């Protein structure tokens, strides 16, 4: 046992790195990485206040004291509401600030929504000396300056990370990994302005409390004689009982202790945590849409489908008459398809064929298919046969935008051909979708075509937004006119 302890002591001595500060090669910025979120928030508030001042000076030649107080009161309220909205969504985190496209979208939505509310309540009715053009100038100038500022913040952030410019946060790294195993962590820490002033290796699992005590004593002795800001422990969560006792020994130090999980068990900690009653839990898989997002999407479905039925009512009536005159049979055709969560729904369509296939075997349409009626060819090419599905949107079995539903016979076949095909059922099927505006329309005779369509559908589910739905709805008429793969 003494031999084992001596080996562990030798390993600890070899792992410890000198705590003497190293002179930086390049000049560091007086900004720490962990202060970026606060600086970005303050920059937004300052930008909005500055935009309000410029807007007042631009809109009028002179201002009364009462006008200035009204303007600043409004600007402070706007900046507080705007910053609170973005902060609640975590958009001031450095990792989010790097995604410029997401930032632009979020800023435009938040700023536009805020000003629509302001105009609705008449908050721009300031003192008589203020110009009536102030509100418009403030909205346009403020949005422009916020977007320009966000682009500048991203450029500065990229330069700071790439050049390791952020002010150093001195840390001690304690790890149970071999040097080759955790080579990526020191590199990441250095990029974000963390300077490793000391390294220690954790003793092997079940090495005994004496080894743990010796390590904690050495760590405490070294840290007390140096300028350290934080302690970082990198270890496998499976040895948590040992880690908890070790961290308890370090509580005499007035420094924060951060834990970096590694190994297979670390994947669990990468998922967001939430509370389930009085119990803590980890969200292994979130729903594709939140409650608010589902409500917003449903509202758009109700308004959009209702307006479309009113606008297209004369066209729908004309199509029904033409179908009845063209060939014997019903005007509408109902077919069972797979909907949200695998539920069976009855989809309404205008009849375009002489047959009404809805069974275990359904032959997909082909070019010059004899089953298609004369009017049916025109309806299928223009996709007018799909318009009765607006009723499905109204009753909630479908959405305006989503993965297109397939007949039950085809759905079971595709599920066997394509991996993750069933993931399409996590949202309501749609009248049009991301796959359709990319030309994935009509039959799917090969597994490759099915897989391509599924990839588009899954991308849509993972990246859903109201803006994306609007873009798909606007692109759908263009795709219909192109008539790709429609027969």
- The answer to whether 392 touches 337, Cβ cutoff 8 Å, is no
What's the pLDDT score for residue 121? 67
DSSP string, 33-64: GGGHHHHHHHHHHHHHHHHHHHHHHHH-S---
pLDDT number for residue 62: 46
Q: State whether 123 and 172 are in the same domain.
A: no
- From CA 292, how far away is CA 89, in angstroms rounded? 13
Burial class, 201, CB count within 10 angstroms (exposed 0-12 / middle 13-18 / buried 19+): buried
306 lies in the same domain as 455: yes
Residue 21 has pLDDT above 50, yes or no: no
pLDDT confidence bin for 12, thresholds 50/70/90? very low
Are the C-beta atoms of 215 and 203 separated by less than 8 Å? Answer: yes
Let me know whether 8 and 77 are in one domain. Answer: no
By the 10 Å C-beta count (0-12 exposed, 13-18 middle, 19+ buried), 473 is classed as middle
| Boundary (domain end) residue, out of 262, 282, 302 | 282
The CATH number given to whatever domain includes residue 177 is: 3.40.50
Residues 300 and 391 in one domain: yes
Residue 200, classed as helix, strand or coil, is strand
H runs (alpha helix) in 167-256: 184-191, 209-224, 240-249
Structural domain including 415 reads 291-482
Could you tell me which residues come within 8 angstroms of residue 286 by beta carbon, excluding any fewer than 6 positions away?
272
Burial tier of 39 (Cβ tally within 10 Å: 0-12, 13-18, 19+): middle
154 and 180 share one domain: no
In order, the DSSP letters of 299-326 are HHHHHHHHHHHHHTHHHHHHHHHHHHHH
Model confidence at 243: pLDDT above 70 = yes
**How confident is residue 487, by pLDDT bands cut at 50, 70 and 90?**
low
**pLDDT tens per residue, range 445-477:** 677 888 888 899 999 988 888 889 998 999 998
What torsion, rounded to 10 degrees, do the Cα atoms 306, 307, 312, 316 define? Answer: 0
Look at residue 156 and tell me whether its pLDDT is greater than 60.
yes
Closest CA to 153 of 39, 31, 302: 39
What does pLDDT average to over the chain?
81
Task: Say yes or no: 177 and 238 in one domain.
Answer: yes
Tell me which of 282, 310, 338 is where a domain ends. 282
Separation CA 367–CA 273 (nearest Å): 53
CA–CA separation, 433 vs 441, rounded Å?
10
Could you say which DSSP state residue 100 is in? H
Query: What mean pLDDT is predicted for residues 355-384?
Result: 74
**Sequence-ordered list of residues with C-beta below 8 angstroms from that of 215, at least 6 positions apart, any chain:** 12, 200, 202, 203, 246
278 and 352 inside one domain = no
208 and 115 co-located in one domain: no
1 pLDDT higher than 70 = no
The reply to whether 28 falls in a domain is no
Residue 89 lies in a domain: yes
> What one-character DSSP code corresponds to residue 364?
P
Q: Which of 147, 163, 179 is the last residue of a domain?
A: 163
Number of domains comprising the chain: 3
- pLDDT surpassing 80 at residue 400: yes
- Assess whether 157 and 53 both reside in one domain: yes
| 3-state secondary structure at position 281 | strand
**pLDDT of res. 317:** 93
Task: Output the pLDDT for position 128.
Answer: 42
Tokens 């296939």 -> residue: 357
Q: Does some domain include residue 377?
A: yes
Encode pLDDT of 38-90 as tens digits: 999 999 999 999 998 888 877 664 444 446 677 788 889 899 999 998 998 88
Beta-bridge partner residues of 195: 170
Please measure the distance between the N-terminal and C-terminal CA atoms of the chain and give it in whole angstroms: 81
pLDDT digits (tens, 9 = 90+) for 258-277: 888 887 777 777 777 777 77
Question: Do 151 and 264 share a structural domain?
Answer: no
State mean pLDDT over 305-318: 93
Is residue 122 located within the same domain as residue 216? no
Residue 146 lies in a domain: yes
Q: Residue 480: how many CB atoms within 10 A of its CB? A: 19
Q: Is 27 domain-assigned?
A: no
User: Residue 21 falls within a domain, yes or no?
Assistant: no
Question: Cα(79)–Cα(204) distance, rounded to whole angstroms?
Answer: 53
443 assigned to some structural domain: yes
Sheet strands (E) in 340-438? 344-350, 399-401, 430-432
Whether 358 maps to a domain, the answer reads: yes
Measured from the Cβ of residue 385, the count of other Cβ atoms closer than 10 Å reads 23
Nearest to 283 by CA among 291, 271, 275: 271
155 and 223 share one domain: no
Q: Which two tokens stand for residue 119?
A: 């105009």
Asked if 190 contacts 33 with a C-beta cutoff of 8 angstroms, the reply is: no
């Amino acid at each position: 046992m003494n031999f084992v302890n001596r080996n562990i002591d030798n390993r600890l001595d070899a792992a410890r790195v000198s705590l003497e500060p190293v002179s930086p090669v390049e000049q560091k910025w007086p900004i720490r990485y962990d202060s970026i979120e606060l600086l970005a928030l303050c920059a937004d508030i300052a930008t909005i206040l500055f935009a309000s001042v410029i807007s007042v000076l631009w809109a009028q030649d002179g201002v009364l004291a009462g006008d200035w107080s009204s303007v600043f009161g409004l600007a402070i309220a706007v900046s507080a509401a705007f910053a609170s909205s973005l902060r609640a969504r975590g958009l001031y985190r450095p990792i989010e600030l790097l995604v410029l496209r997401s930032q632009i979208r979020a800023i435009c939505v938040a700023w536009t929504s805020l000003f629509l509310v302001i105009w609705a309540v008449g908050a721009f009715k300031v003192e008589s000396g203020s110009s009536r053009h102030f509100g418009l100038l403030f909205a346009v100038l403020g949005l422009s300056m916020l977007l320009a500022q966000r682009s500048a913040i991203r450029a500065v952030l990229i330069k700071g990370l790439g050049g390791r410019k952020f002010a150093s946060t001195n840390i001690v790294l304690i790890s149970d990994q071999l040097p080759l195993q955790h080579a990526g962590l020191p590199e990441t820490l250095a990029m974000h302005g963390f300077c490793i002033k000391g390294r220690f290796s954790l003793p092997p699992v079940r090495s005994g409390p004496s080894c743990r005590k010796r390590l904690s004593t050495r760590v405490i002795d070294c840290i007390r004689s140096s300028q350290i800001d934080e302690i970082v422990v990198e270890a496998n969560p499976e040895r948590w009982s040992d880690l908890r006792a070790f961290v308890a020994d370090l509580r005499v130090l007035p420094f924060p202790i951060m834990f970096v999980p590694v190994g297979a068990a670390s994947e669990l900690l990468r998922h967001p945590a939430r509370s389930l009653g009085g119990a803590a839990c980890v969200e292994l898989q979130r729903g594709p849409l939140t409650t608010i997002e589902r409500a917003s999407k449903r509202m758009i479905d109700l308004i959009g489908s209702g307006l479309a039925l009113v606008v297209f009512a004369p066209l729908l009536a004309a199509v029904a008459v033409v179908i009845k005159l063209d060939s014997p049979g019903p005007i509408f055709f109902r077919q069972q398809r797979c909907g949200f969560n695998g539920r069976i729904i009855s989809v309404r369509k205008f009849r375009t064929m002489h047959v009404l296939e809805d069974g275990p075997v359904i032959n997909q349409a082909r070019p010059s298919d004899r089953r298609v009626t004369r009017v049916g060819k025109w309806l299928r090419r223009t996709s007018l046969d799909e318009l009765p599905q607006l009723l499905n949107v109204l009753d909630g079995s479908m959405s305006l935008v989503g993965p297109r539903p397939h007949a039950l016979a085809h759905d079971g076949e595709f599920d066997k051909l394509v991996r993750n095909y069933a993931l399409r059922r996590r949202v309501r099927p749609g009248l049009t979708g991301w796959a359709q505006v990319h030309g994935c329309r009509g039959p799917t005779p090969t597994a490759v075509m099915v897989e391509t369509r599924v990839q588009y559908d899954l991308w849509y589910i993972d990246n859903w937004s109201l803006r994306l739905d609007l873009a798909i709805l606007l692109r759908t008429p263009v795709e219909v006119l192109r008539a790709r793969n429609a027969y």
